[in-house]
Chains A and B, each alone.
Chain A
Amino acid sequence: AQTVTQSQPEMSVQEAETVTLSCTYDTSENNYYLFWYKQPPSRQMILVIRQEAYKQQNATENRFSVNFQKAAKSFSLKISDSQLGDTAMDFCAFLNNDMRFGAGTRLTVKP
């Protein structure tokens, strides 16, 4: 079974600064997808960014970008120009036949 590990239970960053959240995963599959979701205090699950494993180019979505290292099975999320609204639980997720989530990183953006 696939496992997803987020080694940072909590992170904080000053507003307008950059922060990187770590994620590693374990799989024997070659074809899969990776996602970052955020869960603000409202508890909604919101898709942030996705990455196809067959693509070498790292995905970018406005202030959000990933560093996908397939050989290392690493999928980190970089948030640039952090905003107060980025305060949330951030979850890394792995999709093959089903979607598995990491334990999450609680990100706090400080004014």
Chain B
Amino acid sequence: DSGVTQTPKHLITATGQRVTLRCSPRSGDLSVYWYQQSLDQGLQFLIQYYNGEERAKGNILERFSAQQFPDLHSELNLSSLELGDSALYFCASSEGTGPQFNSPLHFGNGTRLTVT
């Protein structure tokens, strides 16, 4: 058990809808990362937060947004969903950010989103 909790585990919704994915980081971790993994693909980095502030942005669509709350949990909002958004969305957490922290990322089990 990595200590990172993602809810829900599965989500099925229709095109054009909006969903929210939730992540609770491991106790003591201040950084939260979001990744998207389409079928048989690698992990695409979406966005990173550190202690409530956005730290790095990857290939995140404008239809997607995220935030990290004061209690350090994070939410990823996906709107105007398209069929191509179907994927496994991972949240990961780590102690800090930047090379001064060598702690690896600890991953949740992912949320599987299916857009029909």
Contact = CB atoms under 8 A, between A and B. Distances in A.
Interface of A: 29, 31-33, 35, 37, 43-45, 47, 50, 52, 91, 93, 95-104
Contacts of B45: 98-101
Nearest to B90: A45
A47 B104 contact: yes
A44 B107 contact: yes
A43 B33 contact: no
Contacts of B106: 47
Nearest to A98: B56
B42 A91 contact: yes
Given A47-B104, A97-B55, A99-B45, 15 more contacts: A33-B99, A33-B104, A43-B88, A43-B109, A45-B105, A47-B105, A96-B98, A97-B98, A97-B99, A98-B33, A98-B55, A98-B56, A98-B97, A100-B45, A101-B35
Given A33-B102, A43-B110, A97-B55, A102 B90 contact: no
Interface residues of B, number: 23
A52 B102 contact: yes
A31 B41 contact: no
A68 to B, nearest CB: 14
B78 interface: no
B105 A99 contact: yes
B61 to A, nearest CB: 17
A94 B41 CA distance: 17
A74 B58 CA distance: 23
A32 B48 CA distance: 17
Interface in B92-108: 92, 97-99, 102, 104-107
10 contacts: A31-B99, A35-B104, A45-B43, A45-B90, A47-B106, A95-B104, A97-B98, A98-B33, A98-B58, A99-B105
A45 B99 contact: no
Contacts of A33: 99, 102, 104
A44 B98 CA distance: 24
